[in-house]
Every structure is written in structure tokens, then in C-alpha cells.
Amino acid sequence: MVLKHKHDHDACIETALEAAQKICEERETRFTPLRRRVLELVWSKHEPITAYEVLDLLSEGQKRVAPPTVYRALDFLIEEGFVHRIESLNAFVGCSDPAHKHQGHFMICTKCSNVTEMNERSLHDVIEAAAKANGYSYENSILEIAGICENCRN
Amino acid sequence: MVLKHKHDHDACIETALEAAQKICEERETRFTPLRRRVLELVWSKHEPITAYEVLDLLSEGQKRVAPPTVYRALDFLIEEGFVHRIESLNAFVGCSDPAHKHQGHFMICTKCSNVTEMNERSLHDVIEAAAKANGYSYENSILEIAGICENCRN
DNA sequence: GATGACTTGATATTCTATAACATTCAGGGC
DNA sequence: GCCCTGAATGTTATAGAATATCAAGTCATC
Ligand SMILES: [Zn+2]
Ligand SMILES: [Zn+2]
Ligand SMILES: [Zn+2]
Ligand SMILES: [Zn+2]
């Protein structure tokens, strides 16, 4: 995998886990060992990871877990805003800004599979305006843009 | 189902079929009876329809067809731009402007399931600009906005 | 009527996700 | 401590979505 910027990914994972831990304490929701482990596995790649890939990793060195175990943990993590689901890939990715609940908008590189989360207020506003212009109230939106990232073009 | 505007849906279907027929003649692609029938079934509701719903309808009064039959026909129709896939619903919907190939952007009513296709150049431009701003080349994009339509709010 | 490209049929399997019910675990009141 | 309760996890089975593979049919062209 080609990372956009080389970095200490272990630290990257650790930061995400600590942030989640802290948020759960504030919200008084339960960041159980299982949920923590699943979040860790989602962050183990910068690429989106499928539920069954998580399942395989989670099952290493122990009795194989069943799908509901993974899906329930993912549901919790999505609900809390620590993970986003990428609809076009049936896959999951850690959120880059878990402190503020939001719908993620994504760029997906078709070469290296890296994903960039865009949290641009302006983009969100344009989308909401488009909904209103078409007579719809706005609830949420999925935006997934496929393209080739800077790294892969060079 | 609540239609946004009451209309003669049979005529609506017929128009879509004729448009497809004409485009295929121009492109010299094969609008076979099966493909025609699948497009007709996709248009049979204004709501998105799943591949297996198409399969069930297609199988009525005859030997049950197999999934690849439906998926191949849908692939063709998508390729030609007569049908769009709604990622967030694993479902398919007829394109409102088949004459011009494009990526569809959609509003989806969470109450009545009606879908509105938005083909607004400005929206497309904003999305493409956002991709560029994040260092990505643009290939295509999925935009699916959930909300409640005008009818359902009244 | 043989050739080859495309389309459809048929069988099996893979991948994704959820339903339903049992068991375990954490915390609060007694 | 013990019981109660609700949440979390375990377990089994099934549903839902999509594809791989190979066989058979169709159709235009040589
Ligand atoms: Zn996010
Ligand atoms: Zn890339
Ligand atoms: Zn369209
Ligand atoms: Zn509606």
C-alpha cells in the first residue's frame, strides 16, 4: 500500500484508539475490548477494510468468531462516529475526525485504494442546498468520488 | 407508492423503451428482448428495484431465470446509460436522461422511497473541483442524498 | 454450412449481512 | 453477599447480493 504521507502508523492507530476511548468516557458508552479491537483492526490499514477481513483478523489465534460479532461492533463504531462505511466498496474505514459526528465524504484512489476523507463545510453546504432546491428536506448524504491520488499519478 | 406528479406511467415506460431502442440503433448495440424486458421491469416502479425483484418479475409465468441472466442485462443497461445503480440501496433505477451518458446523482425519499435524479452541471462541477482540491484526478462520483420529498412532508 | 463473436442458459459458489435465541457480564438495589 | 435488569457477546441458521465457470443457442459473415 502506498501511503499519502509516510508516517508512524502504529502511533496513528494509537491516537485513534485513545480518542475513541476518551469520547466514550464522555458519552458514557462502553468501549469494550471487542469494540476496541475491531476499531484497531479497521485502522490497521489506511485502506478500507471489509467486515469479513476484520472477521478473519479477529479470528487469528482463537476460535473463529461469527459475523454478527463483527457487524455489531462495526455498528457501534459507526454509531459513535469512529468508523465510516464506504457504500461503493462494502467496506469500512476509520474516521479522521471522530470528535465531531458527521457524515463522511470520500475520495477513493482507484489505483492504490487509499481513501481521503473530506470534511469540507462548503461541499456539505452545496449538497444540502441541492437537496432543498429539489424539494427535499436534508437528512444525510453519501459522496464517494473515484479518482487517482497524487502519489499514484507520479 | 406516491408519485411526485401523477402521470400516465405506462406512457412513461414506453417512452424510456423507445429512447433506449433508438440509442441502441445509433450505437449498433443489441437491444435484445431480454434486455428490453429487464429495462421495462426496472421502469415498472419509479422506486429503485433490486436485482432479485427484477428476477422474480422476470420469472413470472415461466421457468425461473438465474441471477446471471438479470445481472448481465443490468450490466448492459448500466453500460449504455439506461439504468443507474443506487449504491446505498443495492438497487437500480431507470435514467431520466439516457441520451447523454453520465453519472447519476440522486435524492432518495426515506418515507416513500421515490428517487429524483439530479443532473445539475453546477453540482457536478463542485464535486470535480473538490476532487482536484484534494489532489485527486476525477473519474466518477456517487452522490446519494437521503431526505424527505415535498409530497411526504405535506 | 462452417467460423467466430456475442448472448443466454445452467450450476455452483462466494461474498455480504441479518434473524433469532442463548449465554455471559456489569452495575444497582436489597 | 444475592437477585434483578439491561447490555453485550456467543451461537446457529438463514437471507440477500453478486460472480465464476462452462454449456448451449443465435446471428452475421465468409
Ligand atoms: Zn469522518
Ligand atoms: Zn493512489
Ligand atoms: Zn441518469
Ligand atoms: Zn416521499
pLDDT digits (tens, 9 = 90+) for B22-53: 999 999 999 999 999 999 999 998 899 999 99
- Residues 6 or more apart whose CB falls under 8 angstroms from that of A11 comprise none
In the block, residue with C-alpha cell 405535506: B154
The phi and psi torsions of A57 (rounded to 5 degrees) equal: -65, -40
Domain B9-153: assigned CATH number:
1.10.10.10
The gap between B60 CA and C1 C1' (Å) is 38
Per the CB < 8 A criterion, the answer to whether A68 and A91 are in contact is no
Q: Which residues pair with B62 in a beta bridge?
A: none
**pLDDT band at residue A4, thresholds of 50, 70 and 90?**
low
Mean pLDDT of A80-92: 98
Closest-approaching ligand to the CA atom of B99: 3
Q: How far is the CA of A64 from the C1' of C12 (A)?
A: 25
Probe site for chain B from A84, A134, A150, A154 (most B CB atoms < 10 A): A134
Domain borders along chain B are 9-153
Compute the residue count for chain A.
Answer: 154
Grid cell listed for B133: 482540491
Q: What angle do CA A125, A126, A128 make, to 5 degrees?
A: 65
Separation between Cα atoms, residue A151 and residue A146, nearest integer Å: 15
The answer on pLDDT for A135 being more than 80 is: yes
Give which of B112, B107, B119 is closest to B151, Cα–Cα.
B112
Read off the pLDDT of each residue in A116-123 and give the average, rounded to a whole number: 91
Residues A12-49 have pLDDT tens digits of 999 999 999 999 999 999 999 999 999 999 999 889 99
Q: Yes or no: say if A147 and B142 are a contact pair by the CB < 8 Å rule.
A: no
List the one residue out of B111, B112, B110 whose CA is nearest residue B144: B110
